[in-house]
Structure 1
Amino acid sequence: MEGESVTLHTNLTHIQTDDQILWQSVNRGTHIAEIHKEKITFFESDNIFGDRLKLDSQTGSLTITNITITDSGLYKLQISRHTGTCSYNKFNVTVYESQIVMKHTQHLNITEIRGSCSDLSRSLDAAALILGLVLLVML
């Protein structure tokens, strides 16, 4: 429902000092948050999220508070571990709006897609196409 929070989980229990956690908004084509060398950085040139983003310093999980329909879209998580491994997860966040007798409610659907960094460009192209088709159908 509008005004609630959604958390996109990294499934990590603890981040090592040299790990890098990078969150991106694929639809906006921007980096939105990063943890690297225990430093948390938020990248927000368009200030869409304002102070609604929270990043867990232990796990790297991203929370969007006060969620709205405009927060719908594809989010990408890239994890570069201190061991030299790299992986990514993609989260498709969809917020549906519905009205029932003057009540405004929203429903949230999150789809998680996992893979390795080498599959990233092919998967992002396919995901962008699917997302474009979904948005076209919704209009």
Structure 2
Amino acid sequence: MTAVIVFCFCWWSLLGVFSESVSVTEGDSVTLSVYLTEVKDGISWKFGEIVIADINAVYKNISLHEHRAERRFRDRLKLDHTGSLTINNITLTDSGSYEVMNTDSKTKLTMFYITVY
């Protein structure tokens, strides 16, 4: 099992996908940064397999899909023009994997694993 995990991290590194583990205290805010100065292509943020936010670079439009994922993110998400996602008042049910994807090239940019305690 350990060999599979190591292989996956190595493979993602070769593909340019970076991952980061983040630990957060319940009730705090966390910002997941993709380290872009501006978004030139479209991006989308997923919690597990559910799209929770995206940026349409053509129309310069930011959309939050707080009604998805059983409304767990209602009034708690913020997405800025650099693609960084902030989750306010984080809860235990927000623990899990988050990924940001370039929607134009269909490539993963970054993965985050959040643990809320």
Global fold match (TM > 0.5): yes
Q: 2:84 & 2:39 partners in 1: Cα distance? A: 10
Deviations 1:9-58, CA, capped at 9 Å, x for gaps:
01101122xx11100011xx31000001311112233211001000012x
Residue 71 of structure 1 corresponds to 94
Cα 1:73–1:87 shift into 2, 3 Å: closer
Quote the RMSD (CA, aligned, Å).
1.7
Partner of 2:51: 31
Alignment pair present for 1:5 and 2:29: yes
Distance of 1:54 and 1:80 partners within structure 2: 19
In structure 1, give the amino acid aligned to 2:112.
F
Q: Distance in 2 between matches of 1:86 and 1:69?
A: 29
SS at match of 1:24: strand
SS at match of 1:60: coil
The structure having more radius of gyration, on CA atoms, is 1
* Equivalent position amino acid for 2:43 in 1: I
Match of 2:14 in 1: none
Where does residue 11 of structure 2 map in the other structure?
A: none
Distance 1:85 1:93 in 2: 23
Higher relative contact order (CA 8 A, sep 6+): 2
Runs of 4+ in 1 over 6 A off after TM superposition: none
Hey, what does 1:125 align to over in structure 2? none
Letter in 1 for 2:109: Y
Closer/same/farther in 2, CA of residues 42 and 2 from structure 1, 3 Å limit: same
Q: Does 1:50 align with 2:74?
A: yes
Q: Specify the code of the residue in structure 2 equivalent to 1:93.
A: I
Report how far residue 80 of structure 1 moved: 4.4
- Which ranges in structure 1 are unaligned for 5 or more consecutive residues? 97-139
